[in-house]
C-alpha cells in the first residue's frame, strides 16, 4: 500500500508541474495574440489600399498582364501551405494540412500535378514523413512573421508562375494558398484560395464596354504600373494570410493549453482522492493489525492465567 | 467637394500618417509630382525618395518611402510603400554609415545602387524636416 501511495504522490507532483507549464504557455499565447491581432489589423489598410489601386487599374484600363492571364491548359499547380512551426496548438496544424490534402487531391483529380511550397516546421515534417517532395520551405517565426519572408515567398511563387507561362518550362500554371483565417478568438477556419492567376475583385463600378474610360493617368504607363503593382498585391495577400495564420495559431494554442490545464487540474483532483484513499486504507490496516495483535496478546495472557 | 485632400500614407505593417492635407509632393519614376485639390485621377509608381505632405494644420510631414505607389482619385491620395519612415524616426548617423557602406559596395553588389538611393533619401528627408 505504501508503495502505491508514494507512486500517486509522484504522479500528482508531475501533473502539477505539467499544469504549470501548460498554464504558462496559455498565458504567453494569450499575451501574444493581442499583439498578433494588432499586427493583422495594422496591415489591413495596406491591403485595402492596394486592392483599391489594383481594382482601379483593372477597371479603368484595358491592359492584360501576365499575372492575370488564365493559361490555356493548366496542368501544373503550386500549393503554398502556411502552418505553424510548433505544435501544442490543438488541431491547428492538422486542420490546415487536411485542407491542403483536400485541395491537392482535387487538383490531382483535375489532372494537374502539384508542387508543394511550405511554410512552418509542422507542415515540413508532415510532408517529409510521407516522403512527399516539397519544392521550397520557409521555417522559423510562424507566430511572428516578417514582411521580408512574405516578400521572399511572393517572389518565389511569382517567378514559378511566370516561368510556367513559357511553353515546356519548369513552372506552374496556377498558385493556390492554404492557410487559416482568423474569425474570432474561438473560431479559426482553414481556407484554400487561388492566388494566381489573379482574380481582381472590382470594387468600383465596371464601365460599360462602349463607355469611354475616365481619364485615369498611369505613370509611366499602365503596363509598368501593373508590372510593379501586381507583385506587391500578391505579396500583400501572402503577408496578410501569414499574419492571420499567426493570430490563429496563437488563439488555437491558447485554447489547447487552457483545456490541457483544466485536464491537469482534473487529474490532480482524481489522483489526490485515490492517494487519500490509499493513505486511509493503510492507516486502517495498521490499526486493525495493532488491535489484532493486542487481542492476540490478551488472549494468550488470559489462557496462561 | 471636400476642402482638403484626404491623405493616407500606408506602410505594409502600419498606417504611418493619415489626415487632411493641402498638398502632397512625391517623387515618381518620371519625376516629382505635386498633388493639389482637384487633381486628375492618377496612379503612379514611386521611386525611393522623400514624400512631403503639407497638412491642413501643423508642420510639414516629411517621410522616406522605399518605392511603392501614389494613387489619386476624388481628392483621396493614398501613398503605399512596403517601408515608410517619418523624418523623426530616421537615425541620420545610421543612414550616413549605410550610405558609405553602400558606396563602397558599388559595382560589387547589385543592390548597392538601391541602398545608396534609400540612404540618400533618408538623409534628405531629415534635412528637409529641419
Indicate whether A34 belongs to any domain. Answer: yes
The ipTM value here is 0.78
Indicate whether A1 belongs to any domain. Answer: no
Whole-number percent of chain A with pLDDT over 90: 40
- Within 8 A of A147 by CB-CB distance, chain B residues are 12-13, 82
At residue A169, φ and ψ (nearest 5 deg) are: -85, 165
Give the CATH number of domain B5-86.
2.60.15.10
A133 CA: distance to closest CA in chain B (Å) = 32
Q: Over the stretch B81-125, which tens digit does the pLDDT of each residue have?
A: 888 888 888 888 888 888 888 887 777 767 777 778 888 888 888
Which range is least confidently modeled, A192-196, A205-209, A249-253?
A205-209
**What number is the average pLDDT over the span A129-153?**
88
Which range is least confidently modeled, A8-22, A31-45, A157-171?
A157-171
Residue A109 has pLDDT above 80, yes or no: yes
Indicate whether A118 belongs to any domain. Answer: yes
Residue A283 has pLDDT above 90, yes or no: yes
Whole-number percent of chain B with pLDDT over 90: 1
Name every residue in A having a CB less than 8 A away from some CB of B. 39, 42-43, 45-46, 49-50, 52-53, 56-57, 60, 147, 151, 214-220, 224-225, 228-229, 232, 236, 239
Q: What is the CATH number of the domain that holds A178?
A: 3.40.1380.10
Q: In whole angstroms, what is the distance from residue B60 CA to residue B89 CA?
A: 15
pLDDT given at position A298 = 92
Alpha carbon of A54 to those of A157, A195, A232, B43, B45: distances in Å?
A: 19, 14, 10, 10, 13
A120, A83 Cβ separation under 8 angstroms: yes
**What number is the average pLDDT over the span A209-230?**
72
Indicate whether A215 belongs to any domain. Answer: yes
Burial per residue of A153-175, b for 16 or more beta-carbon CB atoms within 10 angstroms, e otherwise: bbebbbebbbebeeeeeebbbbb
pLDDT given at position A203 = 52
Nearest to A239 among B12, B29, B68 (CB): B12
What's the DSSP call for residue B103? H
The larger pLDDT score, comparing residue A136 to residue A67, is at: A136
Q: Over the stretch A59-69, which tens digit does the pLDDT of each residue have?
A: 776 677 777 77
Indicate whether A18 belongs to any domain. Answer: no
* Interface mutation vs chain B, best among A49, A61, A151, most B CBs within 10 Å: A49
Closest by CA to B11, choosing from A276, A142, A42, is A42
Give the three-class secondary structure for B65: strand
Count of domains for chain A = 1
Centre a 10 Å sphere on the Cβ of residue A185 and count the other Cβ atoms it contains.
16
What long-range pairs does B88-92 form, CB within 8 A, spacing at least 24? Answer: B88/B129, B90/B64, B90/B122, B90/B125, B90/B126, B92/B122, B92/B123, B92/B126
Q: Closest-CA residue in chain B for A237?
A: B12
Q: Would you list the domain boundaries of chain B?
A: 5-86, 89-129
- Average pLDDT of chain A is 85
Nearest to A216 among B13, B41, B82 (CB): B41
Residue with cell 494558398: A177
Residue A173 has pLDDT above 70, yes or no: yes
Q: Closest-CA residue in chain B for A215?
A: B41
Residue A301 has pLDDT above 60, yes or no: yes
pLDDT given at position A1 = 47
- Model pTM score: 0.82
pLDDT given at position B126 = 80
**What number is the average pLDDT over the span A129-149?**
88
Indicate whether A299 belongs to any domain. Answer: no
Residue A213 has pLDDT above 90, yes or no: no
Q: Closest-CA residue in chain B for A148?
A: B82
pLDDT given at position A169 = 61
Q: Over the stretch B10-30, which tens digit does the pLDDT of each residue have?
A: 888 888 888 899 999 988 888
Indicate whether A279 belongs to any domain. Answer: no
Q: Do A49 and B10 count as a contact with CB atoms less than 8 A apart?
A: yes
Residue with cell 520551405: A137
Indicate whether A90 belongs to any domain. Answer: yes
At residue B42, φ and ψ (nearest 5 deg) are: -150, 145
At residue A83, φ and ψ (nearest 5 deg) are: -125, -165
Amino acid at each position: 500500500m505504501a508503495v502505491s501511495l508514494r507512486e500517486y504522490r509522484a504522479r500528482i507532483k508531475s501533473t502539477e508541474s505539467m499544469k504549470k507549464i501548460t498554464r504558462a504557455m496559455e498565458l504567453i499565447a494569450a499575451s501574444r495574440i493581442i499583439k498578433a491581432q494588432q499586427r493583422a489589423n495594422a496591415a489591413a489598410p495596406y491591403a485595402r489600399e492596394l486592392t483599391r489601386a489594383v481594382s482601379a487599374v483593372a477597371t479603368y484600363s484595358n491592359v492584360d498582364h501576365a499575372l492575370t492571364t488564365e493559361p490555356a491548359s493548366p496542368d501544373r499547380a503550386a500549393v503554398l501551405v502556411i502552418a505553424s512551426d510548433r505544435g501544442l496548438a490543438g488541431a491547428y496544424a492538422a486542420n490546415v494540412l487536411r485542407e491542403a490534402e483536400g485541395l491537392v487531391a482535387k487538383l490531382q483529380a483535375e489532372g494537374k500535378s502539384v508542387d508543394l511550397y511550405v511554410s512552418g516546421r509542422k507542415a515540413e515534417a508532415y510532408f517529409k514523413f510521407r516522403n512527399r517532395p516539397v519544392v521550397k520551405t520557409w521555417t522559423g517565426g510562424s507566430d511572428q512573421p516578417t514582411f521580408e519572408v512574405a516578400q521572399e515567398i511572393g517572389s518565389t511563387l511569382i517567378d514559378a508562375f511566370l516561368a510556367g507561362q513559357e511553353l515546356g518550362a519548369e513552372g506552374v500554371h496556377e498558385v493556390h494558398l492554404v492557410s487559416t483565417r482568423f474569425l474570432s478568438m474561438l473560431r479559426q477556419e482553414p481556407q484554400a484560395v487561388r492566388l494566381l492567376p489573379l482574380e481582381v475583385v472590382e470594387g468600383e463600378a465596371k464601365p460599360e464596354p462602349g463607355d469611354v474610360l475616365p481619364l485615369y493617368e498611369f505613370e509611366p504607363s499602365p503596363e509598368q504600373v501593373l508590372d510593379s503593382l501586381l507583385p506587391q498585391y500578391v505579396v500583400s495577400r501572402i503577408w496578410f494570410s501569414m499574419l492571420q495564420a499567426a493570430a490563429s495559431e496563437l488563439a488555437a494554442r491558447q485554447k489547447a493549453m487552457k483545456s490541457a490545464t483544466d485536464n491537469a487540474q482534473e487529474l490532480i483532483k482524481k489522483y489526490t482522492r485515490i492517494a487519500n484513499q490509499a493513505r486511509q486504507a493503510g492507516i486502517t490496516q495498521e490499526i486493525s493489525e495493532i488491535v489484532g495483535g493486542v487481542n492476540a496478546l490478551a488472549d494468550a495472557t488470559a489462557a496462561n492465567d | 467637394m471636400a476642402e482638403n485632400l484626404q491623405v493616407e500614407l500606408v506602410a505594409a505593417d502600419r498606417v504611418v500618417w493619415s489626415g487632411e492635407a493641402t498638398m502632397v509632393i512625391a517623387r515618381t519614376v518620371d519625376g516629382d509630382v505635386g498633388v493639389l485639390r482637384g487633381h486628375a485621377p492618377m496612379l503612379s509608381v514611386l521611386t525611393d525618395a522623400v514624400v512631403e505632405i503639407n497638412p491642413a494644420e501643423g508642420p510639414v510631414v516629411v517621410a522616406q518611402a522605399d518605392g511603392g505607389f501614389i494613387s489619386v482619385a476624388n481628392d483621396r491620395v493614398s501613398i503605399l510603400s512596403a517601408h515608410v519612415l517619418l523624418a523623426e524616426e530616421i537615425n541620420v548617423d545610421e543612414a550616413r554609415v549605410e550610405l558609405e557602406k553602400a558606396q563602397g559596395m558599388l559595382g560589387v553588389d547589385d543592390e548597392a545602387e538601391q541602398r545608396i538611393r534609400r540612404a540618400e533619401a533618408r538623409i534628405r528627408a531629415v534635412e528637409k524636416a529641419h
